[in-house]
Amino acid sequence: MLVTTDLVLNNYLKNVVGQLKDWLCNHFVQRLVVVVNSIETNEVLERWQFDIECDKTMTENSEAREKSEKAIQDEIRSVIRQITATVTFLPLLDAACSFDLLIYTDKDLEVPEMWEESGPQFINNSEEVRLRSFTTTIHKVNSLVAYKKIDSY
Domain span at residue 82 reads 7-152
User: CA dist 125 to 38, 85, 98, 151, Å?
Assistant: 16, 23, 20, 10
**Structural domain contains residue 117:** yes
Total structural domains within the chain: 1
**Structural domain contains residue 128:** yes
**Structural domain contains residue 1:** no
**Structural domain contains residue 77:** yes
**Structural domain contains residue 118:** yes
The pLDDT of 103-109, averaged and rounded, is 90
pLDDT digits (tens, 9 = 90+) for 12-60: 999 999 999 999 988 899 999 999 999 999 999 999 999 999 887 765 5
Paired sense of beta strands 139-148 and 29-38, if any:
unpaired
Paired sense of beta strands 139-148 and 126-135, if any:
antiparallel
For every residue of 12-28, which 3-state class applies, written as one string? HHHHHHHHHHHHHHCCC
101, pLDDT greater than 50: yes
pTM of structure: 0.85
Contact between 126 and 120 (Cβ < 8 Å): no
Give the model's confidence band at 151: pLDDT under 50 very low, under 70 low, under 90 confident, else very high: low
- Which of 35-39, 69-73, 105-109, 137-141: highest mean pLDDT? 35-39
64, pLDDT greater than 60: no
Give the CATH number of the domain where residue 90 resides.
3.30.900.10
H or E, element range at 37: strand 29-38
Residues across the chain = 153
**Structural domain contains residue 126:** yes
Contact between 138 and 72 (Cβ < 8 Å): no
**Structural domain contains residue 2:** no
